[in-house]
Amino acid sequence: MKKRILIVGYGTAGSTAAAYAKLRCRRCDVTVVEARSYPVYHPCSIPEAIAGEVSFDKLREEQPLSAGITMITGRRAARIDASARTVELDDGSLLEYDNLILATGSRPAVPPPLRDIAGHERVFTVKNVEDGEKVRKAAQGSRRAVVVGAGAIGLEVAMALRRLGLEVHVFELFQQALPGVLDREMARGVEKLLKQEGVELHLSEPVSSARPASSGIRVETEKRSMDADLMVIAAGMRPETRLAETAGIRLGELGGIEVDEHMETSVPGIYAAGDAVEATNLLTGAKTLSMFASTAFRQGRVAGINAAGGSAIYRGTLVPWLIHLFVTNVGGVGLTEKQAINAGYKPVSVRVQALDKPPYVEGSSRVTVKLVVDEDTGRLLGAQLAGPVDLSKYIDVVSALIQKEATLTDLLNLETAYMPRFSEIYTPLFAAAEALQRKLTRLAARS
């Protein structure tokens, strides 16, 4: 009898799990249930589509990414009976499984003061393509927009609305932009850029209430009252675990699904991957929510292989991230300096600027790098970067080294490719490493 693998959700985690389950077990029956009416969408490009830089139609795909799977779209999984190994759909039909993979993703978080207004026709969250289409439609003909939250989604949506010509105000609970992923001094550069581009950033100023007004929405904070034509709530995401709870699956302290290194939940035969899952931070050992496609892909791979009879392992994440804001890219990996302190490390850091290519090469640009290491061991802990160039290669280098528990000396000894058109031989990452080595030498001399 063929093994029946059922997957709920076809985002990055679900589509990856389906592909690897089929690769691992060609004879397995792999069935996917997806609530969307179409199999595939590309959420990371929704802000660009809001700005009109890419068509919303290009963010949807009508065919699954893998051949040989059964795709059920336009249906929601309503309940799991783990003892009978069945999933009930919202139309009352039952699907049987031998192994089940939950890739249910996440849902937008709405702060308590805004829950009553969240269903208003001029108030939006951004999760799927249809959400983006609604925001763009509302923005056309509007004059002022309010964005709640200065995280990655909030700033990317603010950028899109600003490019449409709107007056944009971003309200943030914390005292900096991109809290939790940038240290304060790196965030200042982002805040300066937003100001230059005409985005009004209100830090340490959460929205205390919002209500309908004749012009759209009236927003209240402790410092001001403001009318806006539309409001986008971008206050983060929460794991979507409601289906998992129907099976009695154990959740972690962060509200995500608990899994082991094989991505199996507390209920045998049920796996989970993606935004709904709590992962382990490789540097701290603590649980974290890493709601990025790179994490979902690797978790989905492991879940798919193991549901099909394999024995792959997922050890954890360093939460690499990268976003584009106007003329600058911002990203990082590992721990910020503040996070390193909280984790019990003794961090030392530097922040430098260096050219990504030789100065005589057209397009040569300055990149800002903050590098963090542990003073006692020299172990690499994290990097934060900003600049108008492709930062992924620097982030990937640091990510690979941290996973191997490399030290600052290992980074200095790393030989990278050089070609003037593409890269400086004295890279921004190497410049930061040398500056940090000099700082550590000075600190050692004083002790």
Residues 135 and 50: beta-carbon distance below 8 Å: yes
Catalytic residue among 3, 4, 23, 44: 44
Angstrom distance (rounded) from CA 142 to CA 23: 49
Sheet holding 77-81, edge to edge: 77-81, 86-89, 94-96
Cβ partners under 8 Å of residue 351, min gap 6: 185, 186, 368, 369, 370, 432
Give CA separation, 270 vs 79, 148, 197, 265, in Å: 13, 36, 48, 6
Q: Which two tokens stand for residue 111?
A: 């702060």
Please name the helix (run of DSSP H) or strand (run of DSSP E) that holds residue 443, with its range, or none: helix 428-446
Cα dihedral 235, 237, 242, 244, rounded to 10, equals -160
Token digits of residue 266? 């507390």
Contact 407, 378 (CB under 8 A): yes
* Rounded Cα distance, 397 and 27, in Å: 38
Strands of 199-202's sheet, edge to edge? Answer: 123-124, 230-233, 144-148, 167-171, 199-202
- 28 classed as catalytic: no
The residues annotated with a catalytic role in the active site are 44
